[in-house]
Structure 1
C-alpha cells in the first residue's frame, strides 16, 4: 500500500496497491523531490479511461518498472477530474511539446513543478527506456533539461496570455457562427468532423436557441439529424438509455464505452428541448431514458450523481454491451432473437470485435402500433435483464460539483417540459448535497465521495455550473434559499476569478499556485468556466433583477466573441448564452394560487419559452422569490407577466395574449 490508500478519488484508489511509491498531488511530494534531488513524474488520468488502465496493468503493476520509478523519481498520481487545474496546466505543456494530448498523460518535471518532457501513453518497454533516459539526462545534462523546462513554461504562459480583442456578442456574430457550423456539418452522418466523433451537445443547444430566435430551418435540421443519428447509433445505449463518451467511427456505430455524467446531463437538455420545440417522439423517448439513466445508474446514496461508468469491464471493452446473433437467441429464443437481430443490426459479421455487434436502432419502430410497440418494449426489457447478469463496468462514484450542476439543470428542464416529478425530486436531492457538503464557508469544494467532501477547491466551472443549477432549482421550487445560494457563489466568483479585462481565470486568486494560472475560455468536453459562469450570471439576473450580474456576463462573453465568430465548434455554450442575452432573457411569471397542473397559461409558458427564459409559477409575493413580488392576480384569475430586458408587457389572463407576447423576438 502506497500513499494513495486514503484518497477520495476512485482513480487514485485503483493505484493504491501498485508497487510504485505513488504520492498524491501536493507540496509534500515536491519537497521530497527537492530533498532527494530527483525529478517528479506526474501521471494524470481518470477512472473511466481505457488506456489509463492499460498503462497501469503494463507498467505501474510491474515490479521492475516500479523499481525504476521509485529509485529515480518522486511519482505523483493525479485524477484529472478532481484536479482540472493541474490537468489543464500540464495538458497545455504536453500539447505544446508534442502537438497532441490525451490520457494517460505522462509528465516529467523539476522539483518546482516545471515540466521538461511530456507524453501520453507509453508501452512498457518504451516507458522503461524513457525512465532510464530521463534519469541519465537529469544527472548529466541538467542545465539543458532545466532550460527546456523554462522555455516550455514561457510558451504555455504565452499561450494562455490574457487580453486580446473584446467585442460584443451580437446577433450578426451568432448568425455567422450558426452558418459556419452548418457549413462544417457532416450532412451524411450528423455531427462534426470524422472519427473519433464526439456528441456536439453544446453546439446543438446553441443551434436550437438560434432556431428559436431566427426560425432558421438549417439550424434545426442540423440538430434533428445529428440527434436522430446519435439516438439510433451504438453510442446510445439502446437498452438502458444514456450516451457513451464518443464513437470510434464517424457513423456513431461503435462507442468508446465509458459513460460520463456531463455528457448525459447536457444531452438530456438537447433532447428535451428538441422534443419541446418539435414534438419528435424519438427525442422524447431519448430524453426520458437519459433522465432515467442518470437517476438510476449514476445516482449515489447521498443524493448526488456519480462521475462515470468505465469503458472496460474486467479489462475488456464492450464485454457488457456487445452481442452476437447466438447470444440474442440464447436470451430471447429463436423468434425474438431473430427479431432483435434485425431491429438492432446484429449480424454474423459483427460491427465490433470477434463477430459481436453494438446494438443500434437499425429499423424503425411503429410506436403508434400497440402490438409492435409492446413487442419492442418486451424484447428490450428481457435483453436488459440478461445483460444485467453479465459482469458490469466499474463506477467512479465521486461527485464532481460542476458535473452535478449540469445534470441538475438537465433534470429540472426535463421536469418543466414533461411534468416528471421524479426528475425534479432527483435534482433537488443533488442540489441539497452540493449545498450541504460542497459549499464550505461560502466557497465551493470540487469533489465529494460517500458524502465526505474532498480538499480540492472549486474551479470556475464549478461556480458557474452549480450557481446555474441553484437558479434552476429556485425556479422549480420557489424556495428563496436557492437563489440566495446562487448569488453567494456568483459573488465569490466575481471576487476571486476575474482577469481584470472582463475575462476569468479558471482558478481562484487564493488557490494553490501552479507553474501557470490556467484561463481557457474555450468549450471542450464541458462548458468552459467562463461560459458556465456567464450562463449562471444571465439566469441570476433574470431571477433577481440585479443588473450588475448581466453586465458581468456581457463583458465575459465579449472576451470570447472572436472565438465564437472564428471557432464556433469550441464555443457552443458561450454562443447559447449569447442567444439568451439577445432574447432578453425573457422573464415569464404565472401568478396563481391554484394547482398549476393543466393550467393552459402554464403550459403555454413552458412550451413557448424563448431562449434562456426563466419561468416561475406560484402565488403572488411568495417570500424569497423576487419575480413574484408585486405580481397580483387580475380579477382573481391566474395571470401571466412577461418581461424582457427589464421591460414588461401588460399582465394577461388570456392564452392568446401570452402566446403573442412570447412570439415577439
Structure 2
C-alpha cells in the first residue's frame, strides 16, 4: 500500500511511504482525524541515518499485525526530526522529562490536542504491541487520568524557564570553564566523559580561542597550555581512532566506547562541517600536519560524498548497508590481502589495526591509525587501493535533503579551510552552496529549512537556520571579499531580531509567526550543533564588527548571558557560546584589507590576517575605490598607492600598516 507520505519531500518520510501503517505527515489534518475518531495520536520521530529507526521500522512498521494495531487504535504521525526540529524539540523535552532519557526513534502518545501523555524511544516488536494494547485500554477505560497526565506535562513544560546570568561571560568565567573541562577530560583517551563519546567540535573551538587569549595576554611563552593540550589530545585521538574514516575521510557520528575504537557509523554533515573548521583552526594555531591532513580529507569527503547536483550538501549517510550496520567500512585481514596482495595486505593490517579477532563484529575490524606509517608513499598507494575496492561495495543510503543551517556550517568550514590551505576549489564549493541557499531557501525574505532536488521544502526556518547561514555567509565574505554576502546576512539577522526575541535578551528557537505547538521551543545549550541562540550571538557580533551596528552588538552580548551559568556547570554544552564570548573579549577585532585583489601584496596581507587574527575577527577586503556598502571599508584607502591593512576595535583604527610583519604585530596586540 501507499500511505500519505508518498508526496513528502523528506527522504526519511519517503522510507515509510510503503509501510502498511497509515501514516500522516505532521499536519492539522492528522489531529482533526484523531478528534473525529476519538483516538490518541501516535507520534514517531526519527531521521534517515538512524540505525535504530530502521530496526523499529523493519520490526514493527513493516509488520502487518503491528500496523493493524496502530491503524485501528491510533492516528499515526511520522516526523523527520531534521525537517521539523521544532516538533522534535518539544516532544523530546517531554520524553526526557517523563523517562529521564531520550533518543531516536522517539515514540510519543498524544491527545488529539497534541498533549503528550506517554513517551519512549525504541521498542522491540512484542513490547511495542503490548504498549499499543495498554495505551489503547488506558484511553478507553482511564481517559480522565490520561488527559490529566497530558495536561500536567504541558503545564510543566510551558512554564517560563531561564538560565541565570546577566551580560556576556568575562575572562574569569571562561577560565573557570577550562577548569571544569579539565576535570571532565579523559587524559588517557582524549575527549570528555565516558562512553559513548561524541565529537566535541564546539568545545575544541573554544579551547583554541582560550589558548590564543592566554598567549596574547601572557606572551607567546607565558601561561600554561592546558586548553590547547586538551584540544590537541582530543583531536588526535579522534583522528587516529575508528570514528574517523581512515581511507575515505570524514567522521562518524560518535564512538560507542571511550577509546574512539568503534563508531556508530552514520556520517552527518553537521559533524563534519564543524570538524573541518575545528581542525583548520587547530592547524592555524599549531601547524600540526595531522590536523591539516584531517581537515582536508574531511573537506574532500564532504564534497565527494555529500555534495548535491545543485551545489548544496546532503544531510547524512546511513549507518547501514545491505542491512548491516558498518558493513561498508569494516575489513578482515583476508579482505585486505585480497585487495592488496600478501605483502601490502599484511603491512596494511598492521598499520590499520586489523586482526583475526576483529575490533567490531563477526571478526571484522574498524580501521584505525594509531601512529603514523613508516612509509607515507606506500600508505597513500594502499589507501587509494582500499578506497577503490570499497567503492565497489554497496554504499550506505544518502539523505539528500539540504538543510539550511547545516549548509551554513559547511560554507564556513569549507571557506576557511579553502583559504588557509590554498584550496580555491573548496572556497568555490562554499560559494556555490551559498548561492543555493540565497536563491532557493530564502523565500520572500524568510528562510526555509530544507530543499531537495533544488525544490524548497515547506518547513519554516528555525533560529539556527538564520544564524548559521548568516555566520557562513560572513565567513565566506571574510575569505573572498565578495560584498554580496554581507547584506544577505544582514537581512537574515534582521529577521532574527524581529521575529525570535524572548523579551529577556535571548531568542526562541521558532519565529513568532511559526506554527504554535504546546510550548514554544527555546534551548540556549549547544547540542550536536551550536544552539540557535549562541549561533545568532556569533553572527550578530561579526555583523556588528563589519557595520558598526550597536543594535547588533548589544543583542549579541545579551544572547551570551546563559553561557555564564553553563561555563561553571556544563561547559561541554556551551562550547560555541564560550567561543563567541572569547571573540567578544578581543573587541572583537576588526580588520580591513585595502588593495586591488590581483596584487600580490594585497593577497599577502589578506592571508596574514586569516592566519593571525583572533578567531571571530570581523574581516573584510576592498579595492580601495569603493566601500561596497560595508562601513568598515569606508574611508579606508591605499597608503601612498600601496595595499594596506587597518586593524580596528569598535571602528577606532590604528594607523594602517603595509607589511605582513607589521600586520602580525598589530594582530598580536602590539599597537606600535
TM (norm. structure 1) is 0.97
Residue 413 of structure 1 is matched in structure 2 by: 416
> 1:325–1:348: 8 Å Cα contact kept in structure 2?
yes
Match of 2:227 in 1: 219
Most deviating of 9-18 and 310-319: 310-319
Residue 467 of structure 2 corresponds to 464
Q: Deviations over 1:312-345 (max 9, x none)?
A: 1122011100000000000100000001001100
2:79 alignment partner, SS class: strand
Say if 1:95 and 1:101, in contact at 8 Å, map to a contact too: yes
Q: Specify which of 250, 272, 275 is matched with residue 258 of structure 2.
A: 250
Is contact 2:543–2:618 with CA below 8 Å preserved after alignment?
no
Q: Distance in 2 between matches of 1:361 and 1:622?
A: 49
SS class of match (1:479): coil
Alignment match, 2:178: 178
CA offset at residue 455 of structure 1? 0.8
How far residue 594 of structure 1 moved from its aligned partner, in angstroms, is 5.0
* Paired position in structure 1 for 2:629: 624
CA shift digits 1:442-487 (9 cap, x unpaired): 1111011001111110111111001111212222333332111111
After superposition, what is the alpha-carbon deviation per residue over 1:580-610, rounded to whole angstroms, capped at 9, x for unaligned?
1111111122211252557543332222111
Q: Is the 8 A contact 1:269 1:410 kept in 2?
A: yes
What does 1:366-385 correspond to in 2, within 5 Å? 372-385=375-388
CA contact (8 A) 1:479 1:624 kept: no
| Mean Cα deviation higher: 161-170 or 173-182 | 161-170
1:289 maps to which residue?
A: 297
Q: Which residue of 2 aligns with 1:41?
A: 42
Whole-angstrom distance in 1 between the partners of 2:432 and 2:122: 39
Distance 1:567 1:170, change over 3 A: same
Partner of 1:344: 352
Which whole-Å deviations, capped at 9, do the CAs of 1:86-115 have from their partners, x for residues lacking one?
Answer: 000000000011000000000000000000
8 Å contact kept, 1:583–1:611 = no
After superposition, where does 1:186-197 map in structure 2 within 5 Å?
186-197=186-197
**Aligned partners of 1:538, 1:21: CA distance in 2, in Å?**
48
Whether the 8 Å contact between 1:596 and 1:602 is mirrored in structure 2 is no
Q: 1:56 is matched with which residue?
A: 57
Report if the CA contact (8 A) 1:236-1:242 is conserved.
Answer: yes
Aligned to 2:129: 128
Query: Structure 2 regions of 5+ residues with no counterpart?
Result: 216-223
**Which range moves more in the overlay, 136-145 or 173-182?**
173-182
2:555 aligned residue (552, 574, 578): 552
Counterpart position of 1:591? 594
- Give the corresponding residue for 2:616: 612
CA distance in structure 1 between the partners assigned to 2:429 and 2:600 by the alignment: 20
CA RMSD of aligned residues (A): 1.3
Residue 622 of structure 1 deviates from its aligned partner by: 4.3
Match of 1:359 in 2: 367
- Select between 47-56 and 536-545 the one with higher mean Cα deviation: 536-545
Aligned to 1:654: 659
Find the counterpart in structure 2 of residue 108 from structure 1: 109
- SS of residue matched to 1:398: strand
3-state secondary structure, aligned to 2:107: strand
* Closer/same/farther in 2, CA of residues 489 and 603 from structure 1, 3 Å limit: closer
Distance 1:165 1:191 in 2: 28
Match in the other structure for 1:568? 571
- The separation in 2 between residues aligned to 1:311 and 1:93, in whole angstroms, is 27
Per-residue deviation at 1:418? 1.3
Question: Residues 163 and 565 of structure 2 are in contact (CA less than 8 Å); yes or no, is this contact kept in structure 1?
Answer: no
Match of 1:507 in 2: 510
- Select which of 626, 634, 639 maps to 1:634: 639
Q: In structure 1, the residue corresponding to 2:152 is in which secondary structure?
A: helix
> Offset at 1:164?
4.2
Residue of structure 1 equivalent to 2:330? 322
Alignment CA distance shift 1:280-1:83 (3 Å): same
Structure 2 counterpart SS, 1:612: coil
Whole-Å Cα distance in 2 between the matches of residues 395 and 594 of structure 1?
Answer: 39
Q: Quick check: 2:333–2:354 contact (8 Å CA) kept in 1?
A: yes
Find the aligned partners of 2:654 and 2:569 in 1 and give their Cα distance.
Answer: 37
Contact residue 441 and residue 450 of structure 2 kept, 8 A: yes
Between Structure 1 and Structure 2, how many residues are aligned? Answer: 659
Instruction: Measure how far apart 1:547 and its partner are.
Output: 1.8
Note the 1:257-268 alignment, pairs <5 A: 257-268=265-276
CA contact (8 A) 1:564 1:574 kept: no
SS in structure 1 of the partner of residue 636 of structure 2: coil
1:406-445 map, 5 Å: 406-445=409-448
Whether the aligned pair in 2 keeps the contact of 1:10 and 1:47 (CA below 8 Å) is: yes
Counterpart CA distance in 2 for 1:564 and 1:556 is 14
Instruction: Please tell me whether residue 210 in structure 1 is matched to residue 210 in structure 2.
Output: yes
Distance in 1 between residues matched to 2:165 and 2:279, nearest whole Å: 35
Separation in 1 of the partners of 2:567 and 2:650? 23
Counterparts of 1:563 and 1:170 in 2: how far apart (Å)? 13
Rounded to whole Å, the distance in 1 between the matches of 2:570 and 2:584 is: 20
Residue 369 of structure 1 aligns with which residue? none
- Secondary structure, in 3 states, of the residue corresponding to 2:484? helix
Distance 1:161 1:214 in 2: 34
Check conservation: 2:254, 2:263, Cα contact below 8 A. yes
Q: SS in structure 2 opposite 1:589?
A: strand
User: Over residues 383-442 of structure 1, what are the superposed CA-to-partner deviations in whole Å (9 max), with x where a residue is unaligned?
Assistant: 000001111000000000100000100011112211210111000110101001111111
- 1:23 maps to 24
Q: Deviations over 1:127-149 (max 9, x none)?
A: 00110111111011000000011
Output the CA distance in 1 between the equivalents of 2:113 and 2:380. 59
Q: Contact 2:33–2:75 (CA<8 Å) still a contact in 1?
A: yes
Deviation of 1:630 after TM superposition, in Å, equals 1.4
Asked if 2 retains the 8 angstrom alpha-carbon contact of 1:245 and 1:255, the reply is yes
Q: What is the deviation of 1:625?
A: 3.3
Residue 162 (structure 1) shift: 3.9
Distance 1:314 1:132, change over 3 A: same
Give unmatched runs, 5+ long, in structure 1. 367-371
The equivalent of 1:9 in structure 2 is: 10
Q: Deviations over 1:550-596 (max 9, x none)?
A: 11000110243212232101100000010111111111222112525
Q: What is the CA–CA distance in structure 2 between the aligned matches of 1:596 and 1:268, rounded to whole Å?
A: 29
Q: Secondary structure of the residue that 1:363 maps to in structure 2?
A: coil
Match of 1:73 in 2: 74
Q: Aligned partners of 1:244 and 1:558: how far apart in 2?
A: 32
* CA distance in 2 between partners of 1:303 and 1:597 (Å): 30
CA distance in 1, matches of 2:156, 2:76: 25
